[in-house]
Chains A and B, each alone.
Chain A
Amino acid sequence: MANHSDDLPQLNISMEEKDKLVAEVIRYVLFKNHQNSGSPIKRDELTQIVTKNYRHRTRPSSTNQGRVSSQQSAADAKSYVLISQLPADVYRKYVEDVNSAHVTGFTFVVISVVLLAGGKIPEENLWHHLKKMGLFENDESHPALGNIKQALETLVQQRYLQKDKISGPEGNILVYELAERALDGPVNERVKEYISQVVKRDVASVVIK
């Protein structure tokens, strides 16, 4: 994160005031993260918290003001998610939520199927694979996952997947594609690694036999 402490005297913001603003932003992010079920939080919402009391104050002028404003508008389109940086064993022991583990499992399985299908899969093919695991498109009361269609839609909102419409010979086809959070480097690598473990266990058991 960039250090803006040099700008603070020019903006007449004391250290205490800065800490207070940071606390408000963090509080907002923590509660919003729970409310949104992990969906990304827009930067605009966080900016409003900081600037609502400082509208009359402006940043110091710059010779490259045009470039700054365009960069700022691009930055405003960003959104943020919370990811734990704790080591895996510490995370499992102290942070992991057992009550929502089934949702994590579903997320992993769907991302893996789309990844193995080349990063993009028609909706019909995705449901073909999910049906083998007892997940049906019109099931609204699954014992663990509830409304399956809604659970899939949540993955789109959380930006693990994105939906595209492609025109085909028989009309429009809905296609699911991996989105930013699934394509993120560390996440993508760990998914591939665990997929290999699941499949190679099968290969290893065959070899032993």
Chain B
Amino acid sequence: MTRPVKREPHITPHPAAGGSTSSSSRLINGGAETSDMDSREATERRLLRSLYRDVKRIITDERDDVERVDSDKFNSIINQVEDLHKSVQKPREQVADAEALLDITNSLVALVKAHGNDGITPSDFVNGLLRDFGRQDGPSTSDESSRNLVAWKDIGLAVSHIFSGCPGCHTMVGPMDTELKQRKAVVGRRRTRPTGSVQPEEVNDSGGKERTDTDKNMATMFSILKNKRSVKLENLVLNRKSFAQTVENLFALSFLVKDGRAEIKVNENGWHLVCKIFINAFILKCLLPPFFLIV
């Protein structure tokens, strides 16, 4: 089969006259007509390429029918391509035409190769397998059943003598050269708190310090009272050079009196005297009725 050589059609230039208004309007009208023709031509070419794509899709999808010896599909496709070829004018469509011819040629080659196998094509073989080993699990609506079409195990059992493979041996525990992995020493990770630690400010406990000084003062005062049975109040407490010391002494004395370790009494002269109270006397004083007084 020979095809005539396609040549580009000769396009004569549009007669354009310059200067006069009527000729310019003729030029504008001619330009509009040309653009209409171009767009129509582009549409036709697009349609032609689309038809070629349809033919190629038929060749691919219905390959099995095309490859069959007794099929008319091949003839119908080749006639279709021949009809489309008559409309081809530009290189793009020529490429589509050549590709369609290439696909048909490949199908022919596969057909010829099948003749070397007593006419058996891969499609014939697959159909035979589906007939003999296909699963009859009902309508294949689910995805699982669409994949499970063939009983592969049954095929394998039927053809095991072809390959006669050896199963080999395996160990239960794995390769013998596996080495015991040493455990990594656990390294404690210093955990840092996500937030900064806040330590409340220490309150300056001056009261305690004063009490400590007061205790010292009390101890000093009490030792003085132990040495001297009774002491004048002003001699015990007053510090003519420091008023603060005087107040502290008076404070310490007040604790001694509160604790019941000293007492202040006034003698017949009106002097204030501080005396030490003996513990036993203090206890009896608390226990016995008030008219009993032991000095």
- Find A129's partner among B122, B128, B149, B167 (CB 8 Å cutoff): B122
Report B140-162 residues with CB < 8 Å from chain A CB.
144, 146-150, 152-162
A88 touches B110 (CB 8 A): no
Is B86 an interface residue when CB atoms closer than 8 A count as contact? no
A96 and B163 alpha carbons, distance in the complex (Å): 11
B110 touches A118 (CB 8 A): yes
A-B complex: 6 closest residue pairs judged by Cβ atoms? A101-B156, A34-B168, A105-B155, A105-B156, A104-B156, A118-B113
A88 and B110 alpha carbons, distance in the complex (Å): 34
- Find B122's partner among A103, A116, A139, A201 (CB 8 Å cutoff): A116
14 A-B pairs whose Cβ atoms sit less than 8 Å apart in the complex = A31-B170, A34-B169, A82-B168, A92-B157, A100-B156, A101-B154, A104-B155, A116-B114, A125-B63, A133-B126, A195-B125, A198-B132, A199-B128, A202-B131
Is B123 an interface residue when CB atoms closer than 8 A count as contact? yes
B129 touches A198 (CB 8 A): yes
B159 touches A108 (CB 8 A): yes
Report A86-105 residues with CB < 8 Å from chain B CB.
86, 88, 91-92, 95-98, 100-105
A133 and B140 alpha carbons, distance in the complex (Å): 13
- Find B148's partner among A132, A143, A201 (CB 8 Å cutoff): A143
A104 touches B160 (CB 8 A): yes
Is B42 an interface residue when CB atoms closer than 8 A count as contact? no
- Find A82's partner among B120, B152, B165 (CB 8 Å cutoff): B165
Nearest-Cβ distance from residue A168 to partner chain B, whole angstroms: 10
Is B78 an interface residue when CB atoms closer than 8 A count as contact? no
Is A107 an interface residue when CB atoms closer than 8 A count as contact? yes
| Chain B residue nearest in CB terms to A124 | B60
A30 and B152 alpha carbons, distance in the complex (Å): 26
A45 and B293 alpha carbons, distance in the complex (Å): 119
Is B283 an interface residue when CB atoms closer than 8 A count as contact? no
Number of chain B interface residues as a range: 35 or more
Residues of A within 8 A of B116 (CB): 118
| Chain A residue nearest in CB terms to B170 | A34
Residues of B within 8 A of A106 (CB): 152, 156
B120 touches A132 (CB 8 A): no
A132 touches B130 (CB 8 A): yes
Residues of A within 8 A of B131 (CB): 201-202
| Chain A residue nearest in CB terms to B99 | A169
Is B204 an interface residue when CB atoms closer than 8 A count as contact? no
A180 and B125 alpha carbons, distance in the complex (Å): 23
Number of chain A interface residues as a range: 35 or more
Name A's B-contacting residues (CB within 8 A).
30-35, 38, 82-86, 88, 91-92, 95-98, 100-109, 112-113, 115-118, 121, 125, 128-129, 132-136, 139, 142-145, 169, 187, 190-192, 194-196, 198-199, 201-202
Residues of A within 8 A of B150 (CB): 105, 133-134
Nearest-Cβ distance from residue A79 to partner chain B, whole angstroms: 15
Is B166 an interface residue when CB atoms closer than 8 A count as contact? yes
Once A106-B152, A144-B148 are accepted as A-B contacts, the answer to whether A31 and B125 lie under 8 Å apart by CB is: no
Other than A82-B168, A96-B160, A116-B121, give 17 A-B pairs with Cβ distance below 8 A.
A34-B167, A84-B164, A102-B153, A104-B156, A104-B160, A105-B150, A106-B156, A108-B163, A109-B129, A109-B155, A113-B125, A116-B125, A117-B122, A128-B63, A133-B149, A144-B153, A202-B124
B152 touches A144 (CB 8 A): yes
Residues of A within 8 A of B158 (CB): 105, 194
| Chain B residue nearest in CB terms to A96 | B160
Residues of B within 8 A of A144 (CB): 148, 152-153
B163 touches A30 (CB 8 A): no
- Find A107's partner among B146, B163, B167 (CB 8 Å cutoff): B163
| Chain B residue nearest in CB terms to A108 | B159
Once A132-B126, A133-B149, A142-B147 are accepted as A-B contacts, the answer to whether A86 and B164 lie under 8 Å apart by CB is: yes
A92 and B110 alpha carbons, distance in the complex (Å): 36
- Find A202's partner among B128, B153, B166, B169 (CB 8 Å cutoff): B128
- Find B170's partner among A35, A95, A97 (CB 8 Å cutoff): A35
Residues of B within 8 A of A86 (CB): 164
B120 touches A30 (CB 8 A): no
